[in-house]
Amino acid sequence: MNRQVQERYDTLSRAFHWGMAFLIGWQLLKFFDRIDDGEHWVGQTLVPWHISIGVLLLVLVAIRIFWAVKQKDDRPAPDPVMGAAVKAGHFLLYAGMALMPITGLLYMVGGGHGVSAFGIELIAEGEEISWMASLGGLHSPIAWGLLILVVGHVGMALYHHFIRKDGVLQRMA
């Protein structure tokens, strides 16, 4: 492994990180849909893309996990003191990123709604499937968990940048 790789993540990893961060942030705006039944600009302009972006994120998270496994030996070295916590936190972030679209699909299909993304029907409407709808019911609690993880992730990045001044944030910038 060369020194540049040790100091920074590769371009594709950074593109995945920031692109998915933007899309996940957009998805989390769905929380505002609960205010006044979505009768405001967030609910009317951004939330209608929720399912399409969720399907896109499912594809991206699968590719990102594949890429992360392929690149695991070329990643910057973890903090020796916090290594286990960092690995656990990143595992939970990846799990949340994967489980969100999966439970969303289960909720939609289980409710008999079908799934369309970007105007393309992926799964036709059909009969309700109770076990799918039941598992899909975990979508909202997992969203809250993912929100907490994202806030923690951002908080730790800022802690490393402003308090420890150890250059961790620059690895992904």
Write down the residue that tokens 């998915």 correspond to: 20
This prediction has a pTM of: 0.87
45: domain CATH number is: 1.20.950.20
Distance CA 165, CA 46 (A): 36
Distances in whole angstroms, Cα of residue 28 to Cα of each of 21, 47, 110, 141: 10, 9, 22, 12
- Give the number of domains in the chain: 1
What residue numbers bound the domain in which 127 lies? 3-172
Distances in whole angstroms, Cα of residue 76 to Cα of each of 134, 161, 163: 40, 16, 20
Digit-by-digit pLDDT tens for the chain (173 residues) are: 444 445 788 899 899 999 999 999 999 888 887 777 767 788 788 888 999 999 999 999 999 999 988 888 877 777 777 788 888 999 999 999 999 999 999 999 999 999 999 999 999 999 999 999 999 999 999 999 999 999 999 999 999 899 988 888 888 88
Q: Number of C-alpha atoms within 13 angstroms, CB side, residue 125? A: 1
